[in-house]
Amino acid sequence: MPQQDRVEETTTASANPTGSRRAADRPDDERYDPKRVESKWFERWQSDSELYAAEHHSTKRKYYVLEMLPYPSGVLHMGHVRNYSIGDALARYMWMNGYNVLHPMGWDSFGLPAENAAIQNNTPPRQWTLGNIAKMKAQMKRLGFAYDWSREVTTCLPDYYRWNQWFFLKFYEKGLAYRKKSKVNWCPQCATVLANEQVLTNGCCWRHEDTPVEQRALEQWFLRITKYADELLRDLDKLGGWPEKVRTMQRNWIGRSEGALIDFKLDYSQPHTGFGPAGATISVFTTRVDTIYGATSVQLAPQHPMVADLTAASADLRAKVEQLIAEQRKAKEVGDIGEIEKHGVFTGRYAINPFNGEKIPIWVANYIVMDYGTGAIMSVPAHDDRDYEFAKKYKIEIRLVVLPISDDPEETVTEPRLPFVAHEGMLINSGPYSGLECAEAIKTMSAFAEQNGFGKATVTYRLKDWGISRQRYWGTPIPMLYCEKDGIVPVPEKDLPVILPENVEITLAGGSPLGKIPEFVNATCPKCGGPARRETDTMDTFVDSSWYFYRYADAHNDRAPFDSKIARYWFPIDQYIGGVEHAILHLIYSRFWTKFMRDLSLITNDEPVERLFTQGMVIKDGAKMSKSLGNIVSPDEMVARYGADAARLYSLFAAPPDRDLDWQDSGIEGIQRFLGRVFRFVMRNASAGHESVEMLPATSLSPQARQIQRKLHQTIKRVSDDFQGRWHFNTCISAIMELVNALYAYEEACRSTSDNGNHTSAALMAEVQRNLVLLLAPFAPYLAHELWDILGEKGSLLKAPWPRYDAALAKEEELEIPVQINGKLRSRIVVPADASEEFVVERALADEKIQAAIAGKQIVNKIYVPGKLVNIVVR
């Protein structure tokens, strides 16, 4: 019942103007209204397009900070906000530290969603994409991100993608782009080919996680990334500024493996049909050629080209092989090829071990994959887990050829537990190689194979050449022509760009939409002048993002992708920031592209990115934000409710930037409270003392004022250190919060004593406020600019010098030293900061509590860590 009364009272009270008049009477308590402040500054920043422009000719040190460019889906999500808040804070910090900062933004704007939207809404992809860009750009500006928009890159516009085409021609010229009919990954949903990198480990499409990828044979364009495989691997060691995690992922992806190719001749000594040409061989890849005397079968992948010949005689065999293929495909779909039951079938044929002339059976097995090595192995059951399992099942001979080496010759193991897979061992039963150690045997035996023409040492990679053809519309046209007379002919450089036509009917069926436009397809051969057919596939969108950051350096160049001199100034990128989901695809392609450009002498850097930072995801209620879970937090809504500063500051404060951030609305409310506290403090004290912002002599300050000065300098140090070294923005912000808390306590203290109005304190107040605003500037630019104005500062806050701390002023005069007995805290003593060890230990021992605790015990040791603690060891 009382509650009901209260409701009525509330309603009547809200109509009563008395309360609001009273609030207005007290400007001290003016409420912080982010909407008012932010819209004021938003307007000012809008009208100055040069505000965040990087300098073209500068004597300052350069700093290139880059956030991964977004796909223009139409709306920013919180992950973007977090990513860009980190980059923006860094850019602003570096400006304040006197650098010439390049901080650009652009749009990765080709891709399938635009085509899907076209089908669903009957909107042309270009219109849909450019409309989305406009929306997202407005969101970014509202969030106050300091981008140099004069360098904006939009990858779907001809002034950008013509250089994709130009690069393609260069690749072709250097023999690094080639056309090949090959089995490719085909997603029936996307109706296009996918790169290996776009197929998930469960064999499904990266965009349609439930749709298994099919294999189709198509003519495709490939870029020879494998030419750089070794360098891409080796140079990972140079990337000290990259997360170990990303380097490891790339290492795994490249998957370098040293071994040998060995040719096994087919055995023709028995009757046969369909056994291939006389003298045919099966080439196997092995990392353990030293175990070849233990090989007791050859195993082929079911898709191996020789399988057809080997099984030609028997319909039954062919059916079994089909079964093995089906098993393998199914296992890939399920995602655990390592777990399937091993099956195989004996072909009835034999191969000859070139080392000992022995005839060994040829099998086809479902655990051999065609896309690694040669798709054929020599099976050594005694020294390989998988071969062992298989041999046990099918009763194939298991022959021991390596023994473990023991330090103690008495303890030589002659019957190791099988399979014995360690590389540290000594060969037995291996003809002339018996007695050698594995590593040496590998060298000797590879060399022997090479000398005798049946093998060689080699290296294989998991990394495959990059298939870039896509049978889609919304991408860069591949600048190639097919002439009946001259074959494949590149479009001459002067004819670039090959413009992507508009007004195209888009469906997901029936191959490339470009193929249906005669004006596009029909062209003239530049060599013979006869009719030619234009390539109708477009490029993978990862081409667009492989080099876009070079374009920022010289975004309007219409004679080259960019000027080499300018690129030399800005590259490598000092700091790149983005999601870890791009650790392999985008970042390995970008590294590849950089190495190619270096070989074209366009640039001099070997690597595009000096330091990489992968920020954590933004999650809600412990799960990734998604429409289906209904846990999406909208940046627009957050900005409307709490302001851009609060949204940005919270995304930096709630967790260290490399960890996942669990979004909590109550958390951002706390940040809003904090910003209000800062605002009100400055509103109350802004007029405190403009007369002096000089460093004050410590001696003229009251003890409370001196304490504030000390706290200020400690805070400057902490924020600078955490920003510079560790990138822990959360602790930067909590340090600023502590300073503000101390300022509130100081105000309180001034009110109760007569310190208020004291001249020196007033000057200190001005100094403190000025520095507080500077510290806040990289994180909460709107409020910081407003307060900078209120403090009467005239110069630009954007490039105002970052505050320096004075170590002498930051130093404590007295220290509270914990005193432990046997490592347990027993008391605390206060001593002068410069007290000697003798003094501190003496005072510790004199302490009442310590006296009581050590009474009757013998002191064994006294440990003093200067400025930190005293530990007294007693027995």
| Interaction of residue 861 with RNA, rule CB under 7 A | yes
Instruction: Choose between 197 and 767: whose C-beta lies nearer to RNA.
Output: 197
* Contact set for RNA, span 82-101 (CB under 7 A): none
User: HEC profile for 218-264?
Assistant: EEEEEECHHHHHHHHHHHHHHCCECCHHHHHHHHHHHCCEEEEEEEE
> Minimum Å distance from CB 132 to RNA?
27
416/676 with CB nearer RNA:
676
Give the pair of three-digit tokens for residue 212.
């298994």
Q: How far is the CB of 186 from RNA (least distance, A)?
A: 18
Nearest residue (CB) to RNA, 19 versus 510: 19
Nearest distance in Å: CB 845, RNA: 15
Using CA of residue 790, residue 791, residue 793, residue 797, what is the dihedral sign? Answer: negative
DSSP state of 478: P
- Which of 825, 830, 833, 859 touches RNA by CB under 7 A? 825
Check binding of 718 to RNA (CB under 7 A). yes
818 in contact with RNA (CB under 7 A): yes
Query: Whole-number minimum distance, CB 608 to RNA, in Å?
Result: 20
Tell me whether residue 564 or residue 871 sits nearer to RNA (CB atom). 871
Tell me the closest approach of the beta carbon of residue 388 to RNA, in angstroms: 11
In this structure, are residues 324 and 364 in contact, taking their beta carbons and an 8 Å threshold? yes
H/E segment holding residue 128: helix 125-142
Which of helix, strand or coil describes residue 825? Answer: strand
End-to-end CA distance of the chain: 67
Reduce the DSSP state of residue 713 to 3 states and report it: helix
Is residue 580 within the footprint of RNA (CB under 7 A)? yes
**Residue of 244, 407, 410, 694 interacting with RNA (CB under 7 A):** 244
Candidates 211, 226, 283, 287: give the one binding RNA (CB under 7 A).
287
b/e burial code for range 166-205 (CB count within 10 A of at least 16 → b)? bbbbbbbeeebbebeebebbbbeebbbbbbbbbbeeebbb
Residues 532, 520: contact at Cβ < 8 Å?
no
Instruction: Map the footprint of RNA across residues 672-691, applying CB under 7 A.
Output: 673-674, 676-677, 680
Contact segment (CB under 7 A) with RNA among 371-379, 408-416, 506-514, 786-794 equals: 371-379
Minimum distance from residue 753 beta carbon to RNA (Å): 15
Please, are residues 689 and 762 in contact by the beta-carbon 8 Å criterion?
yes
84 Cβ contact list (under 8 Å, min separation 6): 67, 140, 143, 145
* 469's tokens: 């053809």
728 part of the interface to RNA, by CB under 7 A: yes
Nearer to RNA (CB atom), residue 413 or residue 863: 863
Q: Which of residues 745-774 bind RNA (CB under 7 A)?
A: 745, 748
Contacts with RNA in 619-678 (CB under 7 A)? 653-656, 659-662, 664, 666-667, 669-671, 673-674, 676-677
Of the residues 384, 537, 755, 786, which one makes contact with RNA according to CB under 7 A = 384
Does 824 engage in binding with RNA (CB under 7 A)? yes
Residues paired with 359 in a beta bridge: 352
For residues 239 and 580, which CB has a smaller minimum distance to RNA in the complex?
A: 580
Instruction: Write the CA distances from 117 to 86, 125, 129, 469, 801, integer angstroms.
Output: 31, 7, 9, 22, 48
Q: Which is nearer to RNA, 288 or 595 (CB)?
A: 288
User: Distance between alpha carbon 120 and the CA centroid of its chain, in Å?
Assistant: 32
* Strand-pair category, 487-490 with 480-483: antiparallel
> How many chain residues are in contact with RNA, going by CB under 7 A?
100
CB atoms within 10 A of CB 596: 23
Nearest approach, Cβ of 97 to RNA (angstroms)? 18
The only residue of 150, 270, 524, 741 in contact with RNA, by rule CB under 7 A: 741
Strand partners of residue 575? 65, 611
x/- binding map, residues 201-220, to RNA, per CB under 7 A?
x-------------------
Our CB check for RNA shows the closer of 201 and 273 to be: 201
Residue 289, Cα to own-chain centre: how many angstroms?
A: 38
Which candidate, 381, 395, 379, 402, places its Cα nearest to that of 282?
379
Residues in 464-523 at the binding interface with RNA, rule: CB under 7 A: none
CB of 260 to RNA, least distance (A): 8
Stretch touching RNA by CB under 7 A, among 101-109, 119-127, 247-255, 421-429 = 247-255
Q: What is the largest CA-CA distance in the chain?
A: 113
Min dist CB 481 to RNA, Å, is 36
Distances, alpha carbon 281 to alpha carbons 40, 264, 454, 814, in Å = 78, 5, 9, 84
Task: State which residue, 736 or 774, has the beta carbon closest to RNA.
Answer: 736
Interface residues for RNA in 322-361 (CB under 7 A)? 331, 336-338, 340-342
Residues 659 and 54: beta-carbon distance below 8 Å: no
Q: Distance between CA atoms of 490 and 391, rounded to whole angstroms?
A: 53
Cα distance between residue 233 and residue 228, in whole Å: 8
**From the CB of 721, what's the least distance to RNA, in Å?**
5
The residue (of 444 and 820) whose beta carbon lies closer to RNA is 820
- The yes or no reply on residue 871 touching RNA (CB under 7 A) is yes
d(C-alpha 264, C-alpha 362), whole Å: 10
Q: Least distance (Å) from RNA to the CB of residue 173?
A: 31
Question: Which of residues 375, 381, 467, 475 is near RNA by CB under 7 A?
Answer: 375
